[in-house]
Amino acid sequence: MVITGASSGLGREAALHLERIGFQVCAGVRATADGERLLAESSAGRLHPLRFDVTEPGQIRQAVDEVTRRLGDVGLWGLVNNAGVAQPGPLECLSGAQLRRQLETNVIGQVETIQGFLPLLRAGRGRIVNVTSGLGRVALPYLGAYAAAQFAKEAISDSLRRELRPFGVTVSVVQPGAIRTPIWEKLDQAGEELIDGVPEPTAALYRAAFRAFLRRNARQVHRSRTTPGQYARTVARALTAARPRTRYPVGTDVRIASLAARLLPDNLIDRNLAALVRPRDG
């Protein structure tokens, strides 16, 4: 099976777990050094670093060719689309380049990766696991670009599931909530860099509330009891269940967000989130 975004965080945890339970794992990494670190942690000799960036079509083709050489005519059992970035910030403050990077990594690159591996997945009557988050159901302020990508990935997963059903390829979504991984430290850094680079009249409108949001978000992640191991085991269930579910939430916060999105009117959700955007000192 193939997993993208395995250099660190949730992808690394899932790649190592899947190897431990018996999978041959082709782990997508962006740098040779990341692959070497993964190999050093490999315990069963079934993990193979696969160097490619999902935003580079040429590298995707090379990865598909390499996996094809490994598999021969067997076909591919699973593709886990775990790679992603998170660009925080008020939508007014985001540049076109920042929006494009968010969507190209989390949406377009994912679709191109799926397209590349689909012939192998059809041959193996395999499974696609797309990783989104709780922000694929409820869009928080200051995470609009990231939520847009996650909403899109949810929609793409629904369409793919229906389109690929005749070929015996299943599509599931894994929705992790707040889990302490390096992505959140990167998010804080990206947020500070963003607000520092915005023209002052605009930055002044958002700076205090946005920084308070980042601090609140960091506290929530540190308090979270959801672990990378829970995420990895959930990915494994999606790949091994006799009848895979369409969605697998990971964490209480995701279950609450999903319930709120289904049951609460928009204006009530807006009122509950209003404190996040209220101007304050700091």
State the catalytic residues: 146
State which amino acid sits at residue 140: L
The partner residues of 176 in beta bridges, in order of sequence, read 250
Phi, psi dihedrals of residue 80, rounded to the nearest 5° = -105, 115
d(Cα 26, Cα 272) in Å, to the nearest integer?
Answer: 43
